Amino acid sequence: MASRASSATNWARRVALVTGASAGIGATVCEHLVLRLGMKVIGCARNIDKIEESAVKLRQANTTGSLHAIKCDLRHEDEILAMFAEIKEKYGGVDVCVNNAGLAHPATLLEGKTEQWRNMFDVNVLALCICTREAYQSMKERNIDDGYIIHISSMSGYRLEQPATNVYAATKHSVKALTEGLRLELREIKSNIRITSISPGDVSTEFCLRMYPDDPSIHEKSEAAKKCLEPKDLADAVVHVLQTPPHVQVHDLLMRPTEQTT
């Protein structure tokens, strides 16, 4: 049998794209990939001021890594394709794609607004598919066989919690199917590129504040009820899966706050 690589990839100076890098989990994942793995990280979002601020701070750190911001509204395929073209031109291509950007609107099946359902599916599902395809194509054209796709999914891919999040949960159930679908497609072509989902329960970010912009008390109650996961816990999980040896395929990491019941 042909010998296979058995040690973890050295990710220093390799290129990672992290979507939704302007806040919460994405912002912290960017920092950890730069500081702990020495990666060249491209962070995208609609608001790039915070990514640029973080990039400046990270320049003072003793690391081979760096952070670069690209403005991209993931609801628009032309903007996603332009982002990948810019990454190819400036940085060569994508070796790791962290599909993190996501959002929820309180929009029930009986009363919800179509525009809110569309926004959730556009960002949480369609953009994740487009970024995954473009990242794979970028790896393929450069003969990269150790690349990595990571989806930040949710415990909402596993259970329905409340009517307001039924459609959000449908997007995350989709991510669960897309994770296994991608794994099977990669197996079919005998690729060693890996796919992992990370599915958290409540994480202390702006997520709930953005979901209920007119009622910050919902976020406050959720935070007061338990010690939520921190973005760093998710960044630790991302770094962990990237450091597993090539023969290890972590499929989905389910992570709840210890005190969370649902």
193: CB partners within 8 A, 6+ apart: 136, 139, 144, 145, 146, 147, 148, 149, 186
Could you give the CA distance from residue 83 to residue 160 in angstroms, rounded to a whole number? Answer: 34
Among 91, 148, 168, 212, the active-site one is 168
Give the shortest CB-261-to-ligand NAP separation in angstroms.
Answer: 15
Which stretches of the chain bind ligand NAP, using CB under 6 A?
20-26, 45-47, 72-75, 100-103, 123, 152, 154, 200, 202-203, 205-207, 210
Rg (CA), the chain: 18
Residue whose pair of structure tokens reads 């899966």 in the numeric block = 241
Give the shortest CB-214-to-ligand NAP separation in angstroms.
Answer: 16
**Nearer Cβ to ligand NAP, position 52 or 142?**
52
Provide the 10 A C-beta neighbour count for residue 50.
15
Are 37 and 11 a contacting pair, CB within 8 Å? yes
**Nearer Cβ to ligand NAP, position 9 or 179?**
179
Residue whose pair of structure tokens reads 């628009």 in the numeric block = 76
Give the shortest CB-121-to-ligand NAP separation in angstroms.
Answer: 12
Residue 212 falls in the annotated catalytic set? no
Give the shortest CB-70-to-ligand NAP separation in angstroms.
Answer: 10
Residue whose pair of structure tokens reads 């210890």 in the numeric block = 258
151: CB partners within 8 A, 6+ apart: 99, 128, 175, 178, 179, 195, 196, 197, 198
**Nearer Cβ to ligand NAP, position 36 or 232?**
232
**Nearer Cβ to ligand NAP, position 134 or 202?**
202
Enumerate the active-site residues: 168
